[in-house]
Amino acid sequence: MSKQNKLPLAFWIFIGLLVGIVAGLGLMLLPNQSGVSIAKSYIQPFGTIFLNLLKFVVVPIVLFSIAAGVVSMKDIGKVGSIGAKTIVYYICTTAFAIVLALILATIAKSLHLFPALQTTGLEYTPPEGQSLMDTIVGIFPSNAIQPLANATMLQVIVISIFLGFGVLLAGEQGILAAQTIESFNEVFTKIMDLIIRLSPVGVACLICPVIAENGPSILSQLALVLLTAYIGYIVHALLVYSTTVGALGGVSPAKFFTGMAPAMMMAFSSASSVGTLPFNMECVEKLGAKRDVASFVLPLGATINMDGTAIYQGVCAVFIASCYGVSLTLGDMVTIVLTATLASIGTAGVPGAGMVMLAMVLQSVGLPVEGIALVAGIDRIFDMGRTTVNITGDAACALVVSNLESKRESRK
Ligand code: ASP
């Protein structure tokens, strides 16, 4: 990342995070919410500029790196092998996450740690739902440009894979296209490096307004619900990612979490998996993941793998049920595991998306969607943690699949 700096970039991002948090706490104390408006008017715009730059680079990065990855694999079957391993890892870890969340939330509920909030007069209108079939149809683009312009990630992934396949099948005629893709891949990686150098300032400007605005709510009535979700996030990350990267990824857990620190801090301050994607790619490659694998596994994960979101949905479902005086049966819990796994796949990697998908989980067990209003006010604080878990899960998968693929190749 920054070879010329004596201290690693992770250190400066950490300092940025601290400065942002301290400044946010300072602004929070100013009278009449004036600190919040200062943060929003003068600091947030710089955070937005940084996030915009990351979002701008993410589509070309995904497009060229996946296409280059497929071309370098020289084998369409290998894409299938990586894809299958990735999907199995993603689905198993997400299902585990939601089971863990339900266990933790049920314990918290039976210890009477959740507040009994009033449910009368709540309002929340969920946006128009999409059926599962619509979601599947939506993966396939009907236009080559629109998905790139709208950053519709799954469609961009499909385009990149086809582009790679086309180059491979074209043989000699495809050589120029292959070189062009490889060259653009290199160029956009360099642009990404430049943008990532701005991250200490970017992270500070992203986190400061969030703390100034949401700081007091950490001490709200919902503190213990937040705490339950955060315990779920931490236990899941330590248990599942440490074990899988240690046993299958060939990387020690300590090295994994240290190497992932920049991406995790970025996810925490931006609450956007897609915005964090460029960081995640750098971090996993430094940890030893192969580029062709990482460039396929990570963008896919940023769109469909959301373990943190699943944990949040499990905890909130139990909490909302308890406010409505409903006890969830074992059957309800199984339904929640299934729907939350699907809901987290359908969640976009942008701030707040997980809360919208919570409606689907609540509906599946007959809970009123207005219950979302109980947790909506502090969604950002849930979101910072769940996004951090989401991207860490993607990275763990990239290391595991990369290591398994290397072993498969050496066996051949
Ligand atoms: N913000 C999350 C992410 O980008 C999605 C969510 O809201 O759960 O991963």
Q: Is the CB of 386 under 6 A from ligand 1?
A: yes
> Which pLDDT score, from 0 to 100, does residue 6 have?
60
Quick one: which atom of ligand 1 is closest to the CA of 271? 1
Question: Best mutation site among 272, 279, 313, 394 for ligand 1, i.e. most ligand atoms within 8 A of its Cβ?
Answer: 272
Q: Is 93 in the pocket of ligand 1 (CB under 6 A)?
A: no
At 309 the pLDDT is: 96
The predicted pLDDT at position 265 comes to 96
**Ligand 1 atom with least separation from CA of 379:** 7
- Regarding the beta carbon of 383 and ligand 1, being less than 6 Å apart is answered yes
Q: How far is the centre of ligand 1, averaged over its atoms, from the C-alpha of 67 (Å)?
A: 26
Residue bearing the bigger pLDDT, 79 or 265: 265
- Spell out the SS3 assignment of the chain: CCCCCCCCHHHHHHHHHHHHHHHHHHHHCCHHHHHHHHHHHHHHHHHHHHHHHHHHHHHHHHHHHHHHHHHHHCCHHHHHHHHHHHHHHHHHHHHHHHHHHHHHHHHHHHCCCCCCCCCCCCCCCCCCCCCHHHHHHCCCCCCCCHHHHHCCHHHHHHHHHHHHHHHHHHHHHHHHHHHHHHHHHHHHHHHHHHHHCCHHHHHHHHHHHHHHHHHHHHHCCCHHHHHHHHHHHHHHHHHHHHHHHHHCCCCCHHHHHHHHHHHHHHHHHHCCHHHHHHHHHHHHHHCCCCHHHHHHHHHHHHHHCCHHHHHHHHHHHHHHHHHCCCCCCHHHHHHHHHHHHHHHHHCCCCCCHHHHHHHHHHHHCCCCHHHHHHHHCCHHHHHHHHHHHHHHHHHHHHHHHHHHHHHHHHHC
Q: What is the pTM of this model?
A: 0.90
Among 148-152, 345-349, 396-400, the range scoring the smallest mean pLDDT is 345-349
Task: Read off the pLDDT of residues 265-324 as tens digits, 9 standing for 90 and up.
Answer: 999 999 999 999 999 999 999 999 998 899 889 999 998 899 999 999 999 999 999 999
Does the beta carbon of 353 sit less than 6 angstroms from any atom of ligand 1?
Answer: yes
Residue nearest to atom 3 of ligand 1 (CA): 349
Task: Give the position, in ligand 1's atom list, of the atom nearest the Cα of 391.
Answer: 9
- Average pLDDT value over all residues in the chain: 90
Nearest atom of ligand 1 to the alpha carbon of 390? 9
CA of 308 relative to ligand 1 center, distance in Å: 8
From 58, 303, 309, 311, give the residue whose CB has the most ligand 1 atoms within 8 Å, as the site to mutate: 309
Query: Measured from the CA of 309, which atom of ligand 1 is nearest?
Result: 8
Query: From the CB of 393, is ligand 1 less than 6 Å away?
Result: no
In terms of pLDDT, which residue wins out, 93 or 408?
Answer: 93
Q: pLDDT above 90 covers what percent of the chain? A: 69
Please report the pLDDT score of residue 130 as a whole number.
Answer: 65
pLDDT, average across residues 41-64? 93
Q: With a 6 A CB cut-off, is 352 part of the ligand 1 pocket? A: yes
- In ligand 1, the atom with minimum distance to the C-alpha of 302 is 9
pLDDT, tens digit, 9 for 90 and up, residues 174-193: 999 999 999 999 999 999 99
Residue 97 CB–ligand 1 contact under 6 Å: no
Q: What pLDDT does 2 receive?
A: 46
In the predicted model, is pLDDT for residue 217 greater than 80? no
- Ligand 1 centroid to residue 3 C-alpha, Å: 31
390 CB near ligand 1 (under 6 Å): yes
CA of 352 to the centre of ligand 1 (A): 6
| pLDDT of res. 215 | 77
- CB of residue 301 inside a 6 A radius of ligand 1: no
State in Å: Cα 348 to ligand 1 middle. 7
- pLDDT (average), residues 111-116: 88
